[in-house]
Amino acid sequence: MSIIANRYEFVFLFDVINGNPNGDPDAGNLPRLDPETSQGLVSDVCLKRKIRNYVSLEKENGAGYAIYMQEKSVLNSQHELAWKALDIAADVKDGYKKLPKDLAKAKELTDWMCANFFDVRTFGAVMSTGVNCGQVRGPIQMAFATSIDPVVPIEIAITRMAVTTMKEAEEQGGDNRTMGRKHIIPYGLYRAHGFVSAKLAERTGFSEDDLELLWRSLINMFEHDRSSTRGEMAARKLIIFKHEHPMGNAPAHVLFDTVKVARVHGETDTPARSFGDYQVTINRESLPKGVSVRELI
């Protein structure tokens, strides 16, 4: 697998209908909001989680595609795998807490983690949490997604007709109904920006195959992430800018500015309720020399 030789940026558009794309634990799981503009937010961590989940489904933890950061995983146990696989002896005094003094062996540990864990060589990781495998700065980074227009969170009451214990049933005197709350927004179209560094890919071994897997993950991740509050989320546009030079041919913000998302016919009197209420345009004529653009969806 060849290491990527080009820098990329991408614009990712996705939407939600009657759902909660990213609950805020500091606000009772309400959809995340920018308090100044009331625009919706989805964290980069949330998006990376969905990418990891998609990769684990497609590759089923195949060789080179294990997931490092996953639910209930013990990170130090993941690090120990590298030490044992490479048969590197722990320090007599510090054990696994410090990297080997031999720089080549220390690099072997970090390289092993990159080669075996997709998300380490993609997003990077701090692997010095007691069992030390070094630190990796990943070639793929994503910013927070922001909704194009302000969104309005709605709190909906729900009922449950069953109870969990006999004691609870007796205390309620036969009335098993309990109340709950669900938070949704009627509709929101979100825009996220992403960055792919060819030079950092050289350090982690991020390959062309990995890049294609990343694109597939973005396009399909919502198809395998359905829930009661994420039943209708969809990837709508993935616009990719490719630089001829590995260091890049233009600043990222210049490329992002060529992508405009606006209401159809300038409509603002009624709230948007579907992707069809928006139009997406790319000013291809203003693209800097050495940069090409393609749309995957």
> Where do we find the tokens 């799981």?
29
Contact 212, 4 (CB under 8 A): no
Q: How far is CA 140 from CA 45, 119, 280, in A?
A: 12, 10, 24
State the pTM of this model: 0.92
Contact 139, 122 (CB under 8 A): yes
Strand partners, 124: 137
Report, as ranges of residue numbers, the positions in the chain whose pLDDT lies below 50.
Answer: none
Which pLDDT belongs to residue 175? 62
**What φ, ψ does residue 134 adopt, rounded to 5°?**
85, -165
Q: Which of 48, 53, 203 is nearest to 141 (CA)?
A: 48
Strand partners, 126: 135
Percentage above 90 pLDDT, the chain:
75
Q: Which of 186, 190, 180 is nearest to 218 (CA)?
A: 190
SS3 3: strand
Strands (E) across the chain are located at 8-19, 23-24, 30-31, 39-42, 124-128, 132-137, 140-142, 145-150, 154-160, 178-196, 233-243, 259-263, 278-282, 291-295
The separation between CA 287 and the C-alpha centre of its own chain, rounded to angstroms, equals 27
Strands (E) across 88-177 are located at 124-128, 132-137, 140-142, 145-150, 154-160
The CA-CA-CA angle for residues 7, 12, 14, to 5°, reads 165
SS3 268: coil
Helices (DSSP H) in 155-269: which residue ranges? Answer: 166-171, 198-204, 208-220, 252-256
As a whole number of angstroms, the distance between CA 13 and CA 275 comes to: 10
Q: How many CB atoms lie within 10 A of CB 174?
A: 6
Q: 40 CB contacts (<8 Å, ≥6 apart)? A: 21, 31, 32, 33, 34, 146, 147, 150, 151, 185, 188, 190
Which pLDDT belongs to residue 221? 95
Number of H helices, E strands in the chain: 8, 14
Q: Which of 290, 296, 288, 208 is nearest to 5 (CA)?
A: 208
